Amino acid sequence: MQHVRTRSGLLNGDGGIRETGTVRPFLHVLADTSDKLSGVCSILEEKFTVAGERLDADSRLSQTPAIIVIRAELRDLDNIAAIKKRAGKLAKARKRIFLLEHTSHVCISQAYALGATLVLPSTVGRTRLLAALTDPADESSAASGDAPQPDNAVEAAATAVASMFTAVTLGQPLDVNGTKEAGRQIADRIGQHGLTEWLMTVRRHHEGTYQHCLLVTGITIDFGLSLGVGRADLERLYSAAMFHDIGKARIPLPILDKPGRLDAAERTLIETHPAAGYEFLKDHDGISPEILDAVRHHHEYLDGSGYPDALCGDSIGDIVRILTISDIFAALIEHRHYKPTMPRAEAYNVLCGMTGKLEKALVHSFKQVALTR
């Protein structure tokens, strides 16, 4: 069955529709049931020319849209096969937004493996969905002629992070080399295009914990580059950053990505993640003692007020100190749809205010990463 909905109007050659002189962007919606299809279409028709199709129909929509929105149950293998059948068309779309029924690590990982550029829960509100589709950052970069870089490195890195979380969830062995390789690609990308471009791209395409891991890795790499570390140390840094929050795979996503404050029980649960990550990684080949140390201790402070081991001063290594500063900064500047993004200068001031907890000289060196790079 094919289900096509478009607002009345004249489709033009570039995928838009002309209505009294304005061009409405054209997008596709794919869904696994008619109810879901009409639900998503009715929201999007406010701002777009929408063509919808059920996943179990033969793919007949001929135009290639700039945006494809897919709402489907990814635990259903038929749906996965139907999405894979449309891989060619998907690859040509600039945005591929997946609305998931179950936002488990496994389903999110599957969505990225199928080419998602953004994954949202199917319960996402109308405002948030429309905002994701009409991201002003895209328009300003297009208007300025400063075209965003191809996002292959971002998607490869997001897939690596999602697969890492999935491996923990399912108790499968981790692809250590694949994860490190994704870190190396981020280092290449930042070496070529700088930190700011990385931060903007990641925040535009990713949400929550995955976004956080990608931001921390980019910031840690750029901090390392600014300090002039050698190749081997840079590899230690990006590997530690990629793996640092792997223990969060043991914590349900609704707690990890909860808007607003956590209660005491939730906070206690979250604070188990450094030791959980360490326990998971310690039996894997290819994870050096420095990486294990960084994973376990990235929430320790020099004054002994951190967790899980309340380490002090000299017992906190250099890689850990660099990672901790990058981690806090990333958490402050991450993009959350429910609150404004903190400006980088303001986030740097928060770090400067953490007297006694972070190494003062390192925070001083971090200034150019935070503000100018």
Binding residues for Fe ion, rule: CB under 5 A, are: 245, 327
Query: ∠217-222-228 over CA atoms, to 5°?
Result: 130
Query: How far, CA to CA in Å, does 333 sit from each of 203, 212, 328, 330, 341?
Result: 9, 9, 9, 5, 6
24/236 with CB nearer Fe ion: 236
Residue showing tokens 């400063």:
146
Min CB(88)–Fe ion separation in Å: 37
245/300 with CB nearer Fe ion: 245
135/359 with CB nearer Fe ion: 359
Min CB(250)–Fe ion separation in Å: 12
Min CB(322)–Fe ion separation in Å: 13
Min CB(117)–Fe ion separation in Å: 23
Min CB(256)–Fe ion separation in Å: 10
Sign of CA dihedral 213, 217, 218, 222: positive
74 φ, ψ (degrees, to nearest 5): -85, 5
207/245 with CB nearer Fe ion: 245
Q: How many CA atoms lie within 13 A of 280 on its CB side?
A: 28
Min CB(130)–Fe ion separation in Å: 30
53/245 with CB nearer Fe ion: 245
336 φ, ψ (degrees, to nearest 5): -120, 135
329/348 with CB nearer Fe ion: 329
CB neighbour class for 185 (10 Å; exposed up to 12, middle 13-18, buried from 19): middle
